[in-house]
Amino acid sequence: MKLVRVLGLPLCFGAAMVVAGLVGMGVTADRAEAQATSLDQVLQAVRNQRRQVSQENQQRERAFRQEQARQQGLLQEAGAQVTAEEAISDQLDATFNENEEELARLEALLREKQGAFGELFGAARQAAGETRAVVNNSMVSAQFPGRDGLLTEIASSRTLPTIEQLENLMFTMLKEMVEQGKVVRFNAPIIAGDGTSVTQEVVRIGPFVAFEGRKYLKYSPESQSLEYLQRQPAGDAPGAAGRVFGFQGEGFTQGVIDPSMGTLLGLLVQSPSLRERVDQGGTVGYVILGIAAFGVVLGVYKWVTLNLTQVAVRGQMRSKRAGKGNPLGRVMLAYDENRSADVETLSLKLDDAILREIPKLEGGLNTVKVLAAVAPLLGLLGTVTGMIQTFQAITLFGTGDPKLMAGGISQALVTTVLGLTAAIPLLLLHSFAAASSRRTSQILEEQAAGMIAEQAEAR
C-alpha cells in the first residue's frame, strides 16, 4: 500500500504532463521516450528513499527499546529507594515514640529528685520576671543599661538556676534598691524631639525624675534611653530643676520629684495649654474673644476718659474763669452768655447746655453693656452646638470610646467659660464708667442749679 501511494504521485504527475504536452505543445515520439526513461529514474529514486527511510525507522525503534529498558531500570531503582526510605521513616517514628516516653519518664524523675528545689526554681523565675519588669521601667536603667539580659535568661530558663545566677539576681535587686535612694550626676545619651541623640550631663533623683538643666526627662523602655518631654511643666518646676541641676555644694536644695515615677509628668504634658483650650472653643470661641477684646478696649477707654473729664470738671469748680476744655466750663460759658436773661430763660439755656454734654459722657456705654450681655449668649450658643456634636458622635459610634465625645464636650464647656470670662469684666467696666458718667452729670446739674439760684438771688 505504501508503494502504491508513493508511486501514484509521480505517475499521476507524469500523466498530467503527458496530457498537457499533447494538447498544448505537440510532443514528438522521441521526447515521449525520454519522458519514460525519466519516470524509471523517479521510480528508482523513490525505492531508494523508501529503503533509506525503512533503515532509519529501524534504528529509531532500536533506540526507543533501549531507552525503554533503561527507564524501566530507573523505575525499579526508585521503587527500591522509596521502600528503603519508608523503612527508615518507620524506624525513626518508632525511635521518636521511644524518646518521648523516655523524656516523660526523665521529667517525672526530675520532678521527684528536685523536691524542694522545684519550689526554689519557681520562686527564682517569678522573682526574675518581676525584677525584670521593674528594671525595664526604672529610670536607673538609663545609667546602667542592659541589666535585663540575665533576668530574662533566668525567667525563661527550664532548668534549675545556678548559684551564680541566683547571686546575680540578688545583686541586681540590691543594686536597684540602693540606686533608688541616690541623687547622682552622670552622662547619658538623650533623644531630642527630632530623633537625634546627644550625650549630656544628667541629674537623676532616684527612680522618680531626671533633668538636664531646666528640662525634665523621661525614660523610654523601648529605646532604653532618656528623652526630653514634649512640653515642659509650667510654673516653678523648671526653676526647681535648674536649682537642683546647678547645686554643687554641701547641704540641701529644693527640687521637684514625680512620686509616680513619670505618670504625673506624662499627664501634665498631655494637659492642654491656654492656646489649646481656646482652640477647643472653635469659631464661637474666637467670636467671643473678639467681642471681649473690643468691649474691654472700649470700656477702658470710656472709663479713663470719664475719669479725666471728672478731674477737669472738679478743677473747673475751683476756677471762676470758664473754659471750653471741659463740660462744666462749657455750661459756665452758656451762663455767661445768658446772664442778662430772666431766670426761666437762663434755666432753659443751662438745661440745653447740660443735655448737649450728656451724650458725650454716655457715648459708648450702651455698646459695652450690649457686648456684656451678648458674650454669655454666644457662650450658650457654643454650648448647644458642642452638645449637638456630642450627640452626633454618640449616634454614629456609641458610647464605647469617650475620646470621640471629648471634642463636642470641650467646645460646650470652653465656650461657656469664654462667655462668662468676657461678660464679667465688661459688666465691671460698664459699671465703673457709668458711675463716672453719672457723677459728672450730677456735678453739672448741681453747678447749673447753683448758677440759677445765684441769678435769682441777685434779681
pLDDT at 429: 92
Q: Dihedral of the CA atoms 44, 49, 51, 55 (nearest 10)? A: 160
pLDDT at residue number 452 = 82
80 alpha carbon, distance to own chain's centre: 66
**Cβ neighbours of residue 21 under 8 Å, at least 6 residues apart?**
27, 31
User: How far, in whole angstroms, is CA 356 from its chain's centroid?
Assistant: 63
Nearest 5°: phi and psi at 272?
-70, 150
Question: Taking a C-beta distance cutoff of 8 angstroms, is the pair 375, 401 a contact?
Answer: no
| DSSP 8-class letter at 140 | G
Quick one: which of 274, 273, 265 has its CA closest to 241? 265
The C-alpha atoms of residue 311 and residue 325 are separated, in whole angstroms, by: 12
pLDDT digits (tens, 9 = 90+) for 290-314: 999 999 999 999 999 888 888 888 8
Report the C-alpha gap between 236 and 248 in whole angstroms: 20
Which residues lie closer than 8 Å to 441 by C-beta, 6 or more apart? 354, 357, 358, 361
Distance of CA 430 to the CA centre of its chain: 45
Distance between CA atoms of 459 and 450, rounded to whole angstroms? 14
The amino acid that residue 209 corresponds to is V
C-alpha triplet 224, 230, 236: angle, nearest 5°: 110
Give buried/exposed letters for 61-79 (b at 16+ CB in 10 A, else e): eeeeeeeeeeeeeeeeeee
Low-confidence stretches of the chain (pLDDT < 50) are 1-29, 32
User: Amino acid identity of 350?
Assistant: L
Burial of 203 (0-12, 13-18, 19+ CB in 10 A): buried
Q: pLDDT value at position 37?
A: 60
The answer, as to whether pTM is greater than 0.75, is no
